């Protein structure tokens, strides 16, 4: 297999030359935003655990109870015997939170998007995707049998022009966007998009991975400033929810279709009980502690004020520095000061926009927010 090794080595050498090679680093999650790497403790601004639920004693206790009652694994796909009762309870709770008739739980956000989009988009369908949509949305669109086109980021005029020109050519149109864009932290204009899609009988799907639990009173990005007409509300359980898995909240017929035809449901083992039990407990807290769920965005806005940046719309704030090497240098400098902030480089973001991506959580202290802003102002910006 020498040719295989040579192929891999050449690819890695090319990535090294462009400062785009990634490596895995063992990282132990501690309490709240604290992590441990290589024997040193850091304040992490790189975890998407926005409500710090992954280490919350209440979620850990709920996960343990679920294991004691249901075991460590589902044991089969959901359509066989893997649909343990906790999964159905979670689906009811998510549908209630999102204000929809029903819900289907998936194994992960990636599995959800590569399952949902091909199930809805047949040969007679046009799929229209925001140019900055997450990779898994693009992967799902590429697996669909219909035509795929892209609209400029958050550009309602461009989307309207596409729908006006193309809608009559297709039996169906599916428009897909992130609700919160993971690399920039900005929100899609879902209210306006919902109205536009409704006028053209296009189906709007929003990926709310970074919105559920922290925006719209915890209900997510489709519920900021009111409720947008988003018939397909997808999201994950691995960020603010602090567990693992994903969901689609929609009408009963759509969910019934997913459970019988979405390949990533039909051919995947059901979620392990511990993940489901923890997610249900997270929803309990989100519904009962409204002040707590406002904290991640409040911390992000404090950071923005300290650096004279526009007010954050979500817990995500990018500091764009340009080149890969400058982003890596800034990451090392912050690590020396005790802060873990990931350098995000192409191809995750466009060339020339390498950045430090800050993710703020409920338990970041004001002192840590102020101190990391001070280091950035004095040493990086």
Q: How far apart are CA 113 and CA 108, in angstroms?
A: 9
Residue 341 contacts by C-beta under 8 Å, 6 or more apart in sequence? 45, 46, 330, 331, 334, 335, 356, 357, 358, 372
Q: Report in angstroms the alpha-carbon separations of 172 from 168, 204, 253, 267, 318.
A: 9, 11, 16, 26, 36
Q: Which residues pair with 238 in a beta bridge?
A: none
Instruction: Return the bridge partners of 78, or none.
Output: none
DSSP letter string, 271-336: PPHHHHHHHHHHHHHHHH-HHHHTHHHHHHHHHHHHTTPPPPSSSEEEEEEESHHHHHHHHHHHHH
For residues 131-148, average pLDDT: 94
Structure tokens at 180: 């919160």
Distances (CA, A) of 367 to 43, 49, 313, 319: 11, 19, 21, 19
Residue 27 CB neighbour total at 10 angstroms: 15
Neighbours of 70 (CB within 10 A): 19
pLDDT at 20 over 90: no
What does the pLDDT look like over 64-79, one tens digit per residue? Answer: 999 999 999 999 999 9
User: What pLDDT does residue 137 have?
Assistant: 96
pLDDT at 22: 85
User: How many CB atoms lie under 10 A from the CB of residue 167?
Assistant: 16
Pairing of strands 246-250, 102-106: antiparallel
Helix (H, G, I), strand (E, B) or coil at 205: strand
Whether residue 110 is predicted with pLDDT greater than 80 in this model: the reply is yes
- pLDDT in the model for residue 379: 87
Spelled out in words, what is the top-level CATH class assigned to the domain 57-288?
A: alpha beta
pLDDT of residue 129: 98
- Cα separation, 69 vs 78, in Å, equals 18
Among 22-31, 163-172, 208-217, 327-336, where is mean pLDDT lowest?
22-31
CATH topology of domain 24-55+292-379: 3.90.1150
Tokens of 372: 């990391």
Longest dimension (CA), the chain: 61
Domains 24-55+292-379 and 57-288 share a fold: no
How far, in Å, CA of 126 to CA of 146, rounded? 6
Residue boundaries of the structural domains of the chain: 24-55+292-379, 57-288
Is the pLDDT score of 5 beyond 90?
A: yes
- Residue 224 clears pLDDT 90, i.e. is over it: yes
Return the axis-axis angle of helices 273-288 and 57-70, rounded to nearest 10°: 140
Torsion of Cα atoms, 320 then 306 then 134 then 130, to 10°: -90
- Rounded to whole angstroms, how far apart are CA atoms 340 and 167? 46
Element (H, E) at 44: strand 40-44
Q: Other CB atoms closer than 10 Å to residue 62's CB: what's the count?
A: 22
Q: What's the CA gap between 20 and 17, in Å, rounded?
A: 8
Cα–Cα distance for residue pair 22/335, rounded to 1 Å: 17
Give the integer Cα–Cα distance in Å for 341 and 149: 34
- Is pLDDT at 303 greater than 90 in this prediction? yes
pTM, to two decimals: 0.94
229 falls in which pLDDT band (50, 70, 90)? very high
Mean pLDDT for 144-152 is: 95
Order of all β-strands in the sheet with 343-344: 316-322, 354-359, 343-344
Distance CA 194, CA 376 (A): 38
Strand partners, 357: 318
Residue 23 is predicted with a pLDDT of 86
Does 1 score more than 80 pLDDT?
Answer: no
């Amino acid at each position: 297999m020498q040719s295989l090794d040579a192929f891999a080595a050449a690819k890695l050498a090319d990535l090294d030359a462009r400062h785009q090679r990634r490596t895995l680093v063992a990282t132990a999650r501690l309490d709240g935003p604290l992590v441990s790497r290589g024997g040193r403790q850091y304040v992490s601004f790189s975890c998407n655990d926005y409500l710090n639920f992954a280490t919350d004693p209440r979620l850990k206790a709920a996960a343990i109870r679920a294991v004691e009652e249901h075991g460590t694994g589902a044991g089969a796909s959901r359509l066989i015997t893997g649909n343990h009762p906790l999964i159905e309870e979670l689906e009811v709770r998510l549908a209630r939170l999102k204000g929809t008739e029903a819900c289907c739980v998936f194994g992960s956000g990636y599995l959800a998007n590569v399952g949902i989009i091909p199930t809805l988009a047949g040969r007679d369908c046009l799929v229209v995707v925001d140019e900055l949509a997450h990779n898994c949305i693009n992967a799902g669109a590429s697996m669909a049998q219909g035509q795929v086109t892209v609209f400029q980021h958050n550009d309602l005029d461009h989307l309207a022009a596409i729908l006006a020109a193309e809608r009559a050519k297709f039996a169906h149109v599916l428009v897909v966007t992130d609700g919160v864009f993971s690399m920039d932290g900005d929100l899609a204009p879902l209210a306006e998009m919902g109205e536009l899609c409704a006028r053209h009988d296009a189906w709007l799907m929003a990926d709310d991975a970074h919105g559920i639990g922290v925006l719209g009173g915890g209900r997510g990005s489709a519920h900021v400033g009111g409720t947008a007409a988003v018939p397909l509300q997808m999201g994950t359980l691995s960020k603010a929810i602090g567990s693992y898995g994903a969901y689609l909240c929609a009408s009963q017929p759509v969910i019934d279709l997913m459970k019988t035809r979405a390949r990533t449901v039909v051919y995947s083992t059901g979620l392990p009980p511990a993940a489901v039990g923890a997610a249900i407990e997270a929803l309990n807290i989100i519904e009962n502690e409204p002040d707590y769920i406002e904290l991640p965005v409040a911390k992000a806005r404090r950071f923005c004020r300290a650096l004279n940046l526009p007010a954050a719309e979500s817990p995500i704030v990018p500091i764009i520095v340009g080149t890969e090497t400058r982003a890596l240098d800034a990451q090392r400098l912050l690590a020396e000061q005790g802060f873990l902030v990931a350098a995000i480089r192409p191809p995750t973001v466009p060339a020339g926009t390498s950045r430090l991506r800050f993710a703020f959580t409920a338990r970041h202290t004001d002192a840590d927010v102020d101190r990391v802003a001070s280091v950035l102002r004095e040493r990086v910006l």
